[in-house]
Structure formats: structure tokens, C-alpha cells
Amino acid sequence: MQTKDDIVRRILAALERGAHIDPVLYPLEVSAAADGAVTLSGEVPAIANKRRAVAAATEVEGVRAVIDRLRIPPAVEAGDGAIRDAACKWISRDVDFFNCTLRVLSSGRLEVLRDASVDPSGAIDIAVEGGVITLSGHVISLSHKRLAGVLAWWARGCRDVDNALEIRPPEEDNDEEVVEAMRLVLETDPLVHAEQIAVGSRDFVITLKGVVSSEDERQRAELDAWYLHGVRAVINEIEVR
């Protein structure tokens, strides 16, 4: 019978092999509970490593659930207030959230930014602590939940997004839903030409195809896919011409 220490050792090996995380440069903390729940903590190089780490840990025998507390280094350092303001701007200005009530947690108090109690399509609470953005409340679809999460990731200084938005009424998640959300994100991203990119998904692994004019745009589209809530992996087959 394998012990918790056995599970931790196997996870650390899986992280180095499957998530391409150098344990010397990025020492991670892995803890395992008796019920098979595993917590990953520490800093990883990028969002792709973060997603791959969770996927690799999930596949280790004896792991029942993975609690993701991995963070990524921000491209630009910013305080929690600035990160919160940036996330609020991205979400509040997006047409898909015009009928959502928006509130922010500031100095321990919830402040209403926009009251959409008439003809409401959801309510989103935004909080930031230690560079981690938490989204709570509810929205009307999985696509809205995923789009809100990506918009939060776009906030300068963000180190992680905890997307705890509920769906009302509940929806069953599937690959078609992932594709729909990914197309919505690409259409929203001002740095990407969405019409030039085809999106596919199988078992929550996104494949991107098409032709773009620069490597920056190619990488931006891939980042958007990694940011999408629930995505296990991304295959980027976009060409640059």
C-alpha cells in the first residue's frame, strides 16, 4: 500500500517530466491528505506549466483531487488595488457583461460598481489578494464564466485567477462549450484576428489552427487558450506567414 510520501514523490517526478518544471529553479510544495486530495503550491514559469502540472498530478495513481495553488510571475509587477482596477475595467467594458451587477471587495467591504438589478444576467464579485484574482457570484452560461476568467487573467500584474463563478441555471460542460467560449475569447481579444483562427477541442484539449502575421499573435492566441477555465492542454498549430 502506497503512503502519502510515495504519492508526493510520484507527483514531483510527474511535474518534472510532464509539466517541464525544473525543481531547482521552481521548487514546489506538494502535500497529500489521507483522502487522496493533493495540494500544489509555489511558483511556476507560465500558465502552460501551471495547467500541465495540475493535469500531471491528477493522473498519478492514488490522487483523488488536486488543489491548485500555483502562481505565475507577472509580466509587470502591480499592487492588489491596481490589479483589481484592471480586472474591473476589462470585465465592465465587455458587452457580454453589460447586464451583470459588478462588485469589488475593497478594504474588507463590497462596493457596487454597477447595479444591474433590472433585467439582470448575473452578478460578479471581484477580489484580489497577493496578486490572485478571485471571481465569485454567478453568471448565465459557462461561456460567460470562461470569458470573465480570461479577462481577469489579462489584468496587469495578475498571478492567478480563482474562477468560482456559479452557472445559473446549471449547464453540462463539454467540448462544444469549450470551443464556443474560445471563439468568444478570440473575438474579444484586441490583439488577435479571430477570423483567421480555427478552434477544436477533444477531451478539453484545445487545438488551434490557422495563419497569422506574427509570432506574437500566435503566442497570444495560445495564451488565451491556456487561460480558459477547465482546459487540460493546448495544441498550437497556427502558422506565421
Domain CATH for 11: 3.30.1340
Cell output for 98: 453589460
Cell 458587452 locates to: 95
Q: What was the pLDDT predicted at 1?
A: 60
Q: What was the pLDDT predicted at 68?
A: 96
Question: Span 65-69, mean pLDDT?
Answer: 96
CB 45 within 8 A of CB 73: yes
Q: What was the pLDDT predicted at 5?
A: 86
- The range of the structural domain enclosing residue 231 comes to 175-240
Euclidean distance between the first and the last CA atom of the chain, given in angstroms as a whole number? 55
Confidence of residue 120 (pLDDT cuts 50, 70, 90): confident
Are 125 and 48 members of one domain? no
Q: Cα–Cα distance between 134 and 228 in angstroms, integer?
A: 15
Q: How many domains does the chain fold into?
A: 3
- Bridge partners (DSSP) of residue 127 are 134
Are 232 and 162 members of one domain? no
- Looking up residue 203, the CATH number of its domain turns out to be 3.30.1340.30
For 81-111, write each residue's pLDDT tens digit: 999 999 999 999 999 999 999 999 988 888 9
Which residue, 47, 68, 57, is CA-closest to 15?
A: 57
Q: What is the mean pLDDT of the chain?
A: 94
- Domain end (from 148, 167, 186): 167
For 191-219, write each residue's pLDDT tens digit: 999 999 999 999 999 999 999 999 999 99
Q: What was the pLDDT predicted at 106?
A: 84
Which residue, 146, 145, 159, is CA-closest to 72?
A: 159
Q: What was the pLDDT predicted at 169?
A: 93
For 129-176, write each residue's pLDDT tens digit: 999 999 999 999 999 999 999 999 999 999 999 999 999 999 999 999
Q: Cα–Cα distance between 98 and 136 in angstroms, integer?
A: 17
Q: What was the pLDDT predicted at 131?
A: 97
CA distances from 147 to 24, 40, 200 (A): 35, 25, 17
Are 89 and 135 members of one domain? yes
Q: What was the pLDDT predicted at 41?
A: 97
Amino acid at 174: N
